Structure 1
Amino acid sequence: MNNVGDESQKKRKSPSSEASTSRTSRRRLCSNKNEGVSTTLRLYDDPWKIKKMLTASDLGILSRLLLSADLVTKQILPVLGADQARATDTEEGSQVKIWDMDTKSMHQLVLKRWSSSKSYVLIGKWNQDFVRRRELKKGDEVGFQWNPYYYAFNFCVLKRAMLPN
């Protein structure tokens, strides 16, 4: 009888000891930093994925805003239709609508890729509609975000450059 009691106790302990072993191994897997699982809590996701600190060349007589190829391929081309995205590689470029959120006005610019530098530019009335009208200066940070309801990019001046004393 003693042996029967010992066997039943072993059976009872067995599942719990297996469970604790499997829990431990799961903990080890989850705590491995290379697993690709983030435990960071995000309270705020910045909607302004497309940001640009303006340079002197962005404000000059060429009337164009220079954008990096990496930024455009990751943030802009995916939201445009396939035909419109392909048109950025043509001589004419692709027309995009820009909604100025601060002044509540719609504008049209052309997005195209410069073959010489492989960068992208927004051209057209950039100087007239944005630089002069909004009094943009070197060091100002501007942002764009895609608005799927209007099929346009929202534009905003995110930060003004500090004026020298």
Structure 2
Amino acid sequence: MEHQVQDLSLELTLGGPYTAEPYQADTEGSADLIRIRASFTGFRVYSVNQEVEETKYKVSTRLTLCSSFDPWVFKKPLGHLDATKRLSLRKPWVDAEVLPNLNVLAKHQMQQGHRTWVRVFDKDTRSLNEVELKKEESFVFRDLWVHDFVNRRKLVAQDTVGLYWETTEQRFVFSVLKRIPRVPKTTSNRS
């Protein structure tokens, strides 16, 4: 029996004759195929027609990463005392996520005097500040909180702030998540 040797072309072309039968998969029972197909949808370039079709059927095959991830574990609309004196933090959150991850000196200070200095990175302004973390009925930021955050960032009661603890950097990360509308100050003209 004689074997025929054919040349193999490595040329890439668009269009041209289709030389193989398309693979038809049983999509009903193939969870693996669906998972694999889903992982490749992020690599597609969408045409206007495809966008319209997806909108029409109210589906999306776009791959989005971490679309529901929200790092702000602690979110709080500031109360009057938060905006004038100290920021009150949730005790269960600080007990569970912050205290176990403090350095040895800070842990010792919290056990002895119920207070220590912690670093707070302002993500919006990319500045690093220090405030006193004090254990009262809850945990609070005191001392430089008003100066370094409330005054500097022009925060008022009902503005919403967010915090999370960044273990690798041993610091809190802070952001202003929402500001309430400000009423413009009016000047009166007296004659």
Name the TM tier (shorter chain).
0.5 to 0.7
Give the alignment's TM-score, normalised by structure 2: 0.55
Question: Is 1:76 the counterpart of 2:98 in the alignment?
Answer: yes
Deviation for aligned residue 1:158: 0.9
Output the amino acid matched with 2:87: L
In 2, Cα distance between equivalents of 1:139 and 1:65 = 13
Q: Is the 8 A contact 1:89 1:113 kept in 2?
A: no
Q: Identify the residue that residue 120 of structure 1 maps to in structure 2.
A: 139
Identify the range of structure 1 (94-103 vs 66-75) with the bigger mean alpha-carbon deviation. 66-75
Rate the CA distance shift 1:94–1:121 in 2: closer, same or farther, 3 A: same
Q: Is the 8 A contact 1:49 1:75 kept in 2?
A: no
Question: Is 1:102 the counterpart of 2:124 in the alignment?
Answer: yes
Give the alignment's TM-score, normalised by structure 1: 0.62
The 4+ residue runs of structure 1 with deviation greater than 4 A are none
CA RMSD of aligned residues (A): 2.3
Deviation for aligned residue 1:45: 2.5
Secondary structure of 1:144's partner?
strand
Secondary structure of 1:139's partner?
coil
Question: Is 1:47 the counterpart of 2:71 in the alignment?
Answer: yes
Q: Identify the residue that residue 15 of structure 1 maps to in structure 2.
A: none
- Percent identity reads 34
Q: 1:15-44 CA deviation, whole Å, 9 max, x = no partner?
A: xxxxxxxxxxxxxxxxxxxxxxxxxxx852
Greater relative contact order (CA < 8 Å, ≥ 6 in sequence): 1
Aligned pairs (5 A) from 1:123-142: 123-142=142-161
Q: Is the 8 A contact 1:112 1:120 kept in 2?
A: yes
Rate the CA distance shift 1:75–1:51 in 2: closer, same or farther, 3 A: farther
Aligned pairs (5 A) from 1:1-165: 44-60=68-84, 63-81=85-103, 83-91=105-113, 93-114=115-136, 118-163=137-182
Q: Is the 8 A contact 2:103 2:170 kept in 1?
A: no
In 2, Cα distance between equivalents of 1:162 and 1:77 = 35
Higher strand fraction: Structure 1 or Structure 2?
A: 1
Higher helix fraction: Structure 1 or Structure 2?
A: 1
- Unpaired runs of 5+ residues, structure 2, are 1-65, 185-191
